[in-house]
Chain A
Amino acid sequence: MTDTKKHTVLVVEDEVATALAMGTALEQEGYEVLRAADGEEGLKVALEKHPDVLLVDLKLPKMNGMDMIHTLREDAWGKTARVVILTNISDMGSLQAAMMNDTFYYLIKSDSSVADVIRAVATQLAPPA
């Protein structure tokens, strides 16, 4: 059993209710939750606090999620940071094209449940098989 209390998750989401749902559920699971409501703030918090997992919405004000991840990847720590993309775009072809060669884990928000989000975070934290 993983000691989830040690792990920090950064939720970068501008939709207040969605961020509240994810944050509350993750806290209930014992994670420490950091929050950011736009891409710029998300990038700043990520580079300062080095969270264990980032949950990043794609459609964000100031700097969109895609640009935020691309900028994050230029940083020495950010290069290998564990990111889960949250999106309502179900066209993965265009998402893959935008992510270029970056490997990524994604969740289509409307097709997922809160339990799927928690599972996605746990999967990212699990040691590689």
Chain B
Amino acid sequence: MTSNAADQVLPVFIQTFQGSVFPLFIAAVFVLIVVAIGVYVAATSRTRAEARVAQLVRAYDMVTKQLSEAQKIGHFGSFMWDFRDMELSTWSDEMYHLFGLVPRKKAPDVNIFSQSADPKEEPVVRESWTHARDNAGPFAFSFRAILPSKQARYVHIEGKTLIDVATGERRIEGVAHDITKEMEIDRAKSEFVSLASHQLKTPITSIKWLSEVLLRKGSEPISPTQEKYINNIHDSSQSMINMINDLLNVSRIELGTLSMNITALDVKELVENVREEQKHSADEKHITLKMIYEEGLPPLSADRNLFRMVIQNLLSNAIRYTPENGSVECEVSRASTDKEFLFVRVSDTGIGIPKEERKNIFQKMYRAQNAQTSVPDGTGLGLYVVKTVVERAQGGITFESTEGTGTTFYVSVPFVWHDNVDKAHS
């Protein structure tokens, strides 16, 4: 039906406008309308896109501003060095502020950390940074920076290095944190511990000495029970002195005041002196204390107190963590591999160190689970102090252990110690 109507209308239409310009006019108007709609649509889209871009720019500015503000409040800056194109490397404003520099578009030299480090710490910082730069993965280190204004600031750097396996191109990105306040608090804490420990030492020494006087042969007779009690007082005061000494040594390590006073020592005499001191604790548990000395050992040129501390900690630990009727053996000799080194081995038949905890035992205040169970009191500072002292003397410490069977510590220190500068806090 519709088709028939069109068939009828079209011939009439053609006939009516044949020879006229009217259809052309209509077509032109139609084209104009289409173009106008097109232009309108395009213009509207562009305005919308522009508005969207402006909105995104505003949001980006806001995020950047917020991030910058957050960095300012949190005292941390962010950095990125792109080794493909150094022009792309950036430093946030706070990063510049942390290092006392005026913000620029281009990131500073890639060695800025070691360049701004305290000269005493520069070698360690340079080594840490080179290692971070050359190896893919996360890194972290801290150091004392000296700003252009000569002001000192402690900075902690944390980041990661990304290396393209195929091209070898690398990018380093991370954050720097101002830890000056934390360091100051830590220092104040260490100073307090040091002061408190010194104050505690005097009365506890008096208690120990008075108990020794009571136990001396020339003193008035005492009953076996009284003797037992006085012995307990003596041992408790001695263990408290050891604990205070550990605390003092840790505070000295942290304050960087663990200085060395190098003198010539008779190793055998010093170790025997420590053995004598520990004998009572070993006898109480019926522990056999065996000492093996190589004949003709040369004098050890070392700090008496520090070396004594190493031997004292190793022997007292061995006795403390060995059950009754066990044995502790201490061997002192020249190292077989290098005659310039003194070798000390302390073996026990004690509780051993659980496999999963071995990596932590030199950490400050760490005590293995079985150690906590068998000997509840203890600071977990002894091995930390031993390792620090041994490494300070350019020596080394290792151990092997079987849980439930025993542990052996191996220490080697040079026969001639040299005091060296404080290391960066890493």
Point out residues on A near B: beta carbons under 8 Å.
Answer: 15, 17-18, 20-22, 24-25, 28-29, 88, 90-93, 96, 108-111, 113-115
Name the segment of B114-122, B123-131, B195-203, B321-329 touching the other chain: B195-203
B202 and A111 within 8 A (CB): no
**Docked CA distance A88–B241 (Å):** 11
A102 vs chain B, min Cβ distance (A): 16
CB-defined interface of B96-110 with A at 8 Å, one 1/0 digit per residue? 000000000000000
Asked if B16 is an interface residue, CB under 8 A from chain A, the answer is no
Tell which of B210, B216, B218, B245 touches A110, judged by Cβ atoms closer than 8 Å. B245
Point out residues on B near A: beta carbons under 8 Å.
Answer: 198, 201-210, 212-213, 216, 218-219, 241, 244-245, 248, 257, 259-261, 305, 308
Chain A residues near B213: list those with CB within 8 A. Answer: 21, 24-25, 28, 114
Tell which of B207, B248, B305 touches A92, judged by Cβ atoms closer than 8 Å. B305
A122 vs chain B, min Cβ distance (A): 15
**Docked CA distance A90–B207 (Å):** 20
B202 and A18 within 8 A (CB): yes
Q: Contacts A88-B201, A109-B201: A20 and B216 contacting too (C-beta < 8 A)?
A: no
Interface of A is mostly: helix
15 examples of A-B residue contacts, CB within 8 angstroms: A15-B203, A17-B203, A17-B206, A20-B210, A21-B213, A24-B219, A25-B213, A88-B198, A91-B261, A93-B260, A93-B261, A109-B205, A111-B241, A111-B305, A113-B209
Chain A residues near B205: list those with CB within 8 A. Answer: 18, 88, 109-110
B418 vs chain A, min Cβ distance (A): 14
B209 and A92 within 8 A (CB): no
**Docked CA distance A109–B216 (Å):** 18
B75 vs chain A, min Cβ distance (A): 34
B421 vs chain A, min Cβ distance (A): 14
Chain A residues near B212: list those with CB within 8 A. Answer: 21, 25, 113-115
Chain B residues near A111: list those with CB within 8 A. Answer: 241, 245, 305, 308
**Docked CA distance A28–B305 (Å):** 30
**Docked CA distance A33–B219 (Å):** 16
